[in-house]
Amino acid sequence: MEPKTTTRGPSARARFAISFVFGIVLGAVIVLGRAHGDLDKTAFGDGLLVRSVAARIGAAPQDVNSVVASRGTSLRYGRIGMPAAAWLLAGGKPHEVRLTHPIVVILATGFTAAAAAALFPFAGPLAAMLPFLAPGFPLSVAGGYGEVTAVAAALWGLYFALRERWWPAAALLSYAILSKETAGIVLIGVCIWCLLQRRFRGIVIMATSLVPVLAWWGYVAVRYGHIPILDPYLTVTTDTTDLGIPGRALLHSLLHPISTEALVMTLVTIALAIGLLILIRRSAFGIIGAPSIIQLLGAAPFAWKFIGDAARLFTFLQLFVVFAIVASTRRRWVIPEALAPPVRQVSA
């Protein structure tokens, strides 16, 4: 049976507006509630690094914030998506970034909720809540992390890709990757989906999303010394002896966990990956989300040291599991394009 596509109820614009406002309100509650209204506490951990980059967005290598420098200058400046948005909103004024950074986070939360409502237009108010069921997303909102803008842009990019509006999709996914490189998972997944659907033009256009990414990474390499994803900081903080063979690091995480909590988190993430594989043929979400499992194969024990960071690392895996479950159990809620068969049938 084909999914019901009636448009009864609020119009598409009304659903977008309602979901956007809902996301903004919930984002504001998370950001300001955790900080107790103190702007200086609306970011922590990597969120503070985002704010520091935004405040010194054009800094020469010797003028980079010392904390940023100690955590991988090239890596942090490579993730320019959220800092650039905060800097632009601040009008280039460094002292305004403490205000504009949480605003960007809250706005991105609104756009994320609206994107979920666009992907699940017949789910009612529940649609806007779906991203918050992935633990990594609200944790990212609370800390002011780049994952927030990455998720917002990636989900809208996914929506446009499913509707075969390739150029907006490519632009949004480019921004998502520049916010957090793990968003590249969505780009890979979309290209696989296009290949299975024989939408070859889509693959070519989607590949152009890498042009701005590679251009920016090249600039960062020249200015700060390294390609962002090859920043030495990543090797210093990772047990590189376990990264040679896919799956070896994961096995080490299971046999020699840092803590009981880390072991539990590892097992839960493995269960999510298995669940996504089971659902891979039920909707586009299973196919497009499948590349996120690659992260699991390379996650060394250090990845599980801090449970919150581990949850953020696998935000996209969690999101696609949630979306795939909802799409497979409530097929009438999702846009029809997301329910296309895995392999497109071509008539003789």
Q: What is the pLDDT of residues 39-95, one digit of tens each?
A: 888 999 999 999 999 999 989 999 999 999 999 999 999 999 999 999 999 999 999
Contacts of 198 (CB under 8 A, 6+ apart): 344, 346
Burial of 295 (0-12, 13-18, 19+ CB in 10 A): middle
Sign (positive or negative) of CA dihedral 281, 201, 151, 261: positive
Q: Is the Cβ–Cβ distance between 105 and 148 less than 8 Å? A: yes
Contacts of 236 (CB under 8 A, 6+ apart): none
Q: 37-51, 295-309, 322-336: which has the highest mean pLDDT?
A: 322-336
Whether 243 has a pLDDT exceeding 90, the answer reads no
Average pLDDT over residues 261-283: 92
Neighbour count for residue 195 (Cβ, 10 Å): 15
CA separation, residue 62 to residues 68, 72, 236, 323 (Å): 11, 13, 21, 45
Mean predicted lDDT score pLDDT of the chain: 90
Q: Is the Cβ–Cβ distance between 150 and 46 less than 8 Å? A: no
Average pLDDT over residues 301-320: 88
Tell me how long the chain is.
Answer: 348
Helices in 165-209 by DSSP H: which ranges? 166-179, 184-196, 200-207
Q: What is residue 244's predicted lDDT score, i.e. its pLDDT?
A: 53
Whether 232 has a pLDDT exceeding 70, the answer reads yes
Which residue type occupies 294?
I
What would the two tokens of residue 107 be?
């706005």
Helices in the chain by DSSP H: which ranges? 12-35, 46-55, 66-70, 73-78, 81-89, 97-119, 126-129, 136-143, 147-162, 166-179, 184-196, 200-207, 210-224, 232-236, 248-255, 260-278, 284-289, 293-297, 307-313, 315-329
Q: What is residue 7's predicted lDDT score, i.e. its pLDDT?
A: 42
Q: What is residue 307's predicted lDDT score, i.e. its pLDDT?
A: 85
Neighbour count for residue 48 (Cβ, 10 Å): 20
- Split at pLDDT 50, 70, 90, the class of 6 is very low
Q: Give the phi and the psi of residue 120 in degrees, each rounded to 5.
A: -125, 70
Q: Which residues of 244-273 are buried (b: 16+ CB within 10 A; e: fewer)?
A: eeeeebbebbeeebeeeebbebbeebeebb
DSSP 219: H
- Split at pLDDT 50, 70, 90, the class of 120 is very high
Of 207-216, 231-240, 255-264, 275-284, the one with minimum mean pLDDT is: 231-240
Q: Per residue in 287-302, pLDDT tens?
A: 999 999 988 887 777 7
CA–CA dist 178, 78 (Å, integer): 7
| All structural domains of the chain with their residue ranges | 12-339
More confident residue, 278 or 3: 278
Q: Per residue in 147-171, pLDDT tens?
A: 999 999 999 999 999 999 999 999 9
pTM of the predicted model, to two decimals?
Answer: 0.92
- Split at pLDDT 50, 70, 90, the class of 245 is low
Whether 140 has a pLDDT exceeding 80, the answer reads yes
